[in-house]
Structure 1
C-alpha cells in the first residue's frame, strides 16, 4: 500500500497516484514552511518566482545520464549543507512553468551522507500547491521546459531531525535532488457518458449497487452525473471529502470502497488521473459514475500494479470540499 496524503485515514492504493500522492514530499510531514515573502523577488513579473541561490554544494554535483532517464550523480560526501541551493545544469528552451501547472518531471533524490539514490522515477508535481515541500518546488518553479536542475538541500529544509525511514533517510541528513523538467500536463476532461451508461442504486450509508452495461468498456474517460449537487464547485487541487466504490469492469468485482468505513479525504491531484479529472468541476452533493481506461488508472498491463491493464469504474458521492 502506498503512503497517503490524506490526514484522516489511510487511503487505499486503489485510488492513490504514485510518488506525487505520497506523504513523502509534504510540508506537513516536516514542519518546513513555504519560503518567506522576503525570499521572493519584488518584481511584479517575478512575483511567483522564488530566488534560490546557487552555491558550492549544488555546483559541486556532477550528473551523468540522458535527460528524462535514469541518472547518476557524483558529489563530495557527506554533504553538510547550510542552505538550500539550486543550480541549473541545463536550461531548456520551452515555456516557463508557473503556479497552477501540473509539472511532469523525472526526479532523482540522493542521500547526502552516502550519495545513494533513494528515489528515481517520472511523476507530476502540482506547482503552487502549498503542501509541496520547498526542497522539491525549487527544481521546477519558474523553469523552462527541458531544464535539468540540481538542488542541494540541508536537513533542516528536508526531513530534519525526524528523517524519513520510508526513504532510508536518517535524522539530520541532507540530500541532492536532480529534477528533469519534462513538460506540463494538460487538463483531462471526461466525455459525457450518455450512451449506455450503467445504473447505480444508492442505499444511504450502505454500499451502492452498480450494474454495468453489456459490451466492451469504452477506451475513453467517460462520466455520468447521476444526481447533480448544488454546493461548492470542486477546483483542481482542492481537498475533497467523498465516498467511493471501485469496480473492475473486466471482472465485475468491487476491488475497493469507502462504504462501511469512513469517507475519503484527499486532494484531486493526489489520486489516479481519471479519478481526479472526474471530481474537477463537479459540485458538492453530486453523485457520479466514471469509467477510466488503464492509462488514466494504473497503466497498461505489465506496469507492476495489480490493477494495471484494467478498465476501472468508480461510483462517487461528493460530500464536501476545502
Structure 2
C-alpha cells in the first residue's frame, strides 16, 4: 500500500522525536518583519545552555548550526527562546507549521534538518503531543525559534533503544523548532452522517480490464470543504451489512479533486485488511450499512480525512474520493 489510510499521527515530529522535546532560555538577535532573525544566537555557559552552538538563518527559511564545542546534557531538559517571534501567541488546539532540527551534542553532528528535508511538519498544540512539547509550546508566539538541550533518554523515552539516529540514553541532544505559522483548520462538516448522492454530482470511475484505474472529474464542481460525506453505491452486494466495529477486506482507489492519477490504490496489488475504526473517519461514516460485495464511491471532506495536515501526496484540506470494493467483513 503506497499510502497509509490509518488515522494520521498527531505530527511527524512526534514520530521522529518521540516522546519529544523541550528547550532552554536565551536572547535573540534583532528580529525582522516576520519576527525571525538571521543573526547567530547562543545562550549562557552552563550545561544545558547553548554557548556551545550557534544558529543562523531566518525562521521559515533556513537553519545552520556552528559548533564551538561539545554540549553537555543537563540534569533536566532546559528550554530557551532563540528568536522571539512577533506573531500571535499559540492557542490551545492550534496546529503549528514548524521546521525541526536535531543535533548530537556529543559528536557535534547534525542528525536531522527539516529545511533540508524540504517540508515543514505539523505540530498540534494539544496535550496528546506529550508533556515536553506542551512545555515547549507554552507561551510561545508564531515566528519564534525555540531550542532544547536534553538527553536522548529524555527525548525518546522508552523508544530510545533502536532509535533511527543511533544515539544512546546518555547522549546530549540539541533540538531546535521554528514555529512558522498557524496551520489552516479544516472546516467542520455540516453533519457527521453519510448522504446518498446523485451520481451526476460525482466523478465517473475509469476502468481498465475491469479494474478501476482512476476517476474522471469532467463536469464535476469541487465541493465546499464543509460538505458532509457523500456516497454512491455503484454495485450493491448481497452480503452482510457492514458495522463500524467490523474488520474489512477491501480493494480501493483514492484520488483528490481533478487529479491526473490516484494517490493510492490496491486493485493492482493486494487487498487491504483493517479494522474500520483504525481508518480515517470518513470510511467508518461512509461504509457503515453497506453490504459486503458492494462497490461504492465515497466523497470525504478533509475533516474526516487528513485534515489541515494532509498526508504524503494528499495536500492540506483536500476533499478525498474513494472507490471501494467491500470484499469481506468480520465482526470486531
- Normalising by the smaller structure, the TM-score range is 0.5 to 0.7
Match of 2:218? Answer: 215
Matching residue of 1:88: 81
**Are 1:95 and 1:145, in contact at CA under 8 Å, matched by a contact in 2?**
yes
TM-score by length of 2: 0.56
CA distance in 2, matches of 1:98, 1:164: 35
Cα distance in 2 between the residues matched to 1:125 and 1:286: 35
Unaligned stretches of 5+ in structure 2? Answer: 23-43, 115-119, 191-196, 206-210, 233-242, 291-297, 303-308
Three-state SS of the structure 2 residue aligned to 1:81 is coil
Distance 1:299 1:107, change over 3 A: same
Distance 1:284 1:84, change over 3 A: farther
Describe the SS at the equivalent of 1:119. strand
Residue 189 of structure 1 pairs with residue 187 of structure 2: yes
**Which of 222, 230, 234 matches 1:225?**
230
Larger Rg computed on CA atoms:
2
Q: CA RMSD in A?
A: 4.9
The reply on whether 1:117 has 2:110 as its aligned counterpart is yes
Q: Secondary structure at the match of 2:322?
A: strand
Deviation at 1:151, TM superposition (A): 1.0
Deviation at 1:108, TM superposition (A): 0.7
Give the gaps of 5 or more residues in structure 1: 1-10, 35-53, 201-207, 233-240, 269-275, 301-306
Could you tell me how far apart the structure 2 residues matched to 1:219 and 1:117 are? 43
SS at 1:159's partner residue?
Answer: helix
- Kindly state the Cα deviation for residue 164 of structure 1 after the two structures are TM-superposed: 4.7
* Deviation, structure 1 residue 153: 1.3
Distance 1:299 1:209 in 2: 19
Tell me the CA shift for residue 58 of structure 1. Answer: 2.9
Query: Cα gap change, 1:71/1:264 in structure 2, threshold over 3 Å: closer, same or farther?
Result: farther
Counterpart in the other structure of 2:239: none
Counterpart residue number, 1:20: 11
Contact 1:101 1:127 in 2 (8 A): yes
2:150 is matched with which residue: 136, 149, 153?
Answer: 153
CA distance in 2, matches of 1:216, 1:116: 54
Count residues with an aligned counterpart.
248
Q: Is 2:322 the counterpart of 1:314?
A: yes
Mapped to 2, the partners of 1:216 and 1:14 lie a distance apart of 30
* Alpha-carbon spacing, 1:93–1:171, altered in 2? closer, same or farther (3 Å): same
State the partner residue of 1:6. none
Give me the whole-angstrom Cα distance separating, in 1, the residues matched to 2:266 and 2:187. Answer: 24
Could you report, residue by residue, the CA deviation over 1:228-271 in whole angstroms, capped at 9, with x for unpaired residues? xxx99xxxxxxxx9988333553469624895422366597xxx
Q: Is 1:95–1:144's contact at 8 Å kept on the other side of the alignment?
A: yes
